[in-house]
Amino acid sequence: MSATTTAAPAPKKPFYRVLYVQVLVAIVLGVIVGWVWPEVGKNEWIKALGDGFVKLIKMVIAPVIFCTVVSGIAHVSEVKKVGRVAVKALIYFEIVSTFALALGLIVGNFIQPGAGFQGQQSNAAAVASYAKQASEMKSVDFVLHIIPDTVVGAFAQGEILQVLLFSILFGIALMSLGERGHTMRAFIDDAAHAIFGVIAIVVKAAPIGAFGAMAFTIGRYGPQALGNLAGLIATFYLTALAFVVIVLGIIARIAGFSIFKFLKYIKDELLIVLGTSSSESALPQMMEKLERLGCSKPVVGLVVPTGYSFNLDGTNIYMTLATLFIAQAMNVHLSFGEQITILLVAMLTSKGASGITGAGFITLAGTLAAVRPELVPGMAIVLGIDKFMSECRALTNLCGNGVACVIVAWWEGELDRDKLRAALDRDIDPSDVEVAVTTG
């Protein structure tokens, strides 16, 4: 009798079948190919490997957000709870984003990575295109852009905030139907499981995508692209690391969990982001894993997609640090008042920057154009290394949004402590979606 009721433990995967090991090996191979055979790395088909994987992931982002948000809200008993979660998330985003912006200013003033810079300001045409995009970024336009022209258009164009808005409205409407909406709720729940099944298939191609993206980056720019700007890159990476370990670490400790265990839990997603330079490439997996971590579905569905536009810690650090670097490199003195203005303006311009590669550069242009327009041409100094810095931005953004979701769930009383401890302590391959779902 006992033999039939006791489940045998699942056999441990060989290390070479674990996703994060495969992605890590692929990144290393991509660096080698791009360095040793740059012509191969620059091949358009190699580039297509990385671009194709990101497109596969983006393909399912809109339906994942719709199903997760609608299902979460539809199972909530009161509308005011949805609004309460959203308000708490926005409060948290603003507080932590301010810390990130301030940290970039403090480090930039203390280390002064741009002092004595001897570099050529090139790529003026490329900078002009970024500046043009930034000049079109207005607060009113951003708010109106949240409202889609058509629902179909929001899904077709993959606009996260537009899909989120419609999903919230649809979820509230479905919730108000009560028992009459049971069939639709069940259908959306089943659709969500099917979509996560698609993700489980797509994510197996992550090593291929990481290899292609890394090989092209090194082949296109070469290791010499770091050159004289290695100091800025090192400063930015160390500052972002300090933010994750210290600031997010303290926040995590207050909520009762270890930031290091959390980073280990999401190591698959971090490596995917490292390979693709886009935090969006890990969004569907991140939402699913946060639910398994003990965060309730409504909190995950509201906090994570919103955070991709309102909680960009890595982008915030980059904007203030890069602004000071450019000013120092161009011998432009910024007073304390102007630096505070940069911080305030960056709090606005950073909103709406997605996890797509290059969005941080556009928001930097918007900040410079608003505060000191004469610094905009200096963006050419950092244009060549922006690809390397975008990876750190995306990694920090991902960590910040993950911690934010857990904190808001804890704040709202929607965090399952038993699941949290079990998930952070388990030594399994968290990319194995099917096993995790069936075992609870």
5 occurs within a structural domain: no
Can you give the CATH number for the domain in which 110 is found? 1.10.3860.10
360 occurs within a structural domain: yes
3 occurs within a structural domain: no
3-state secondary structure 229-267: HHHHHHHHHHHHHHHHHHHHHHHHHHHCCCHHHHHHHCH
First to last CA, the chain: 23
Sign of CA dihedral 242, 428, 402, 237: positive
Rounded CA-CA distance 53/383 in Å is: 25
What per-residue confidence (pLDDT) applies to 436?
42
pLDDT in tens, the chain (440 residues): 444 444 444 456 676 677 767 877 887 888 888 888 888 888 888 888 887 877 887 787 788 778 877 877 776 666 667 778 878 888 898 899 889 989 988 998 888 877 766 554 444 444 455 555 555 555 566 677 778 888 888 888 877 778 878 888 888 888 888 778 888 888 888 888 888 788 778 878 878 888 887 788 778 766 654 455 677 888 899 999 999 999 999 999 998 899 999 998 988 888 888 777 677 778 888 888 898 888 888 888 888 887 877 788 888 898 888 888 888 877 778 788 878 887 877 776 565 454 444 456 666 766 776 677 777 777 766 765 666 777 788 889 889 999 999 999 999 888 888 888 888 887 545 445 444 443 44
pLDDT digit string, tens, across residues 389-401: 777 888 898 899 9
Contact 73, 82 (CB under 8 A): yes
Closest-CA residue to 47 (of 214, 212, 205): 212
Closest-CA residue to 398 (of 262, 297, 253, 250): 262
261 occurs within a structural domain: yes
DSSP conformation letters of 62-110: HHHHHHHHHHHHHT-S-HHHHHHHHHHHHHHHHHHHHHHHHHHHHHHHH
26 occurs within a structural domain: yes
Q: What 3-state DSSP class applies to 400?
A: helix
Rounded CA-CA distance 3/93 in Å is: 51
Number of domains into which the chain is organized: 1
8 occurs within a structural domain: no
pLDDT digit string, tens, across residues 3-21: 444 444 445 667 667 776 7
110 occurs within a structural domain: yes
Instruction: Show the beta-strand stretches assigned E in 13-60.
Output: none
Mutual angle of helices 336-349 and 79-111, in 10-degree steps: 140
List the domain range (segments joined by +) for residue 398.
Answer: 16-439
